[in-house]
Structure 1
């Protein structure tokens, strides 16, 4: 990465660029040190675009241990469809076992999702991101008016950067709409999670995700029992920092 250019300048310079141009720049700057984050939802579009630019693209996915069966099958379909090696990140048993033993398997319904997400998602992600220079996500501004409406296409990851090791974050799909994403999926006939056919839009863990009704925003299907307006698990905690 050219240190003469900061993330803010890059975000401005690439604000009007296509997702493919943003990804191409990311590969040019970071090569094998760039990883694609794949959640098993509609961010398969990001995987498709990245793979078409670099057949050896590196991809990881978080396995919380609580995903829908359909999501596990979908991740496997994507692996086979593209001939990819998808690195599966799992929670640390030393952290997960005490939570499950002491509080059971559904403590988040009483205590909020923060503790469970911290163990099942944030810790494995933090562990992975500490070893790389950049990652790309499928975040889009239209996914959450409360937390993602200002997502930049390129940013310095304020949540996971280390004092001596900056972490760059690319959000190539930031400006795409849900309609454009699904137009891409249908036009190119790429795989998608079967849960989308059952009213699921934003797909996370099985106990914390449900279909949404007509005219409900997609994030209303996540952690619906909580009053919290900022529906983020912490993977993109920088969004909340930016809002604050």
Structure 2
């Protein structure tokens, strides 16, 4: 039986993330302050990974250039999109941004053309993938930070065939720790009144980078993006 993180440790990580993120959100008045708060949440995920037992981390097969997971649909919440968008705006040149927007527009069109229920089956490279690695690694979403595999070959097979049981490659002890922190950060934001809807990463990122009102609406605790950006637009409540 695979090693697992004790339940009390999971709740400790979860409660700590809620409390610390909640304190930071209370001080937020401007987008810059929000990015600092979100940065804490991302750093907390990285710290949680780094402090995981070596015997557990030894099972991680992920490495630079292993990009199978960068071809599957990614579900995110609005704060992950804005954190990534902020990183892009700070670090990309005008040319790089233009090229990225073209790739994101293609992604968005491909997703929009899918029949209801087919999104989970599509495979296309993330618009931010560059030479087999993430071009915004420091700004990547929580969803990407919490995903780890023990079997890169199985991930590659899943990339080619959605029927593969990818769950077999998960590392329960690590996944539990990472998800406890991620869900704690999400809970703090939701409790503070911020958008809790689930969005398609590439589609919402394109909207965030082309419509500055998205961030304004989100900071005012309205829905950040239109329904067309939802991961499951045919199921708005999902």
The TM-score with structure 2 as length reference comes to 0.34
Structure with bigger RCO (C-alpha 8 Å, 6+ apart)? 2
The TM-score with structure 1 as length reference comes to 0.33
Query: Which structure has greater helix proportion?
Result: 2
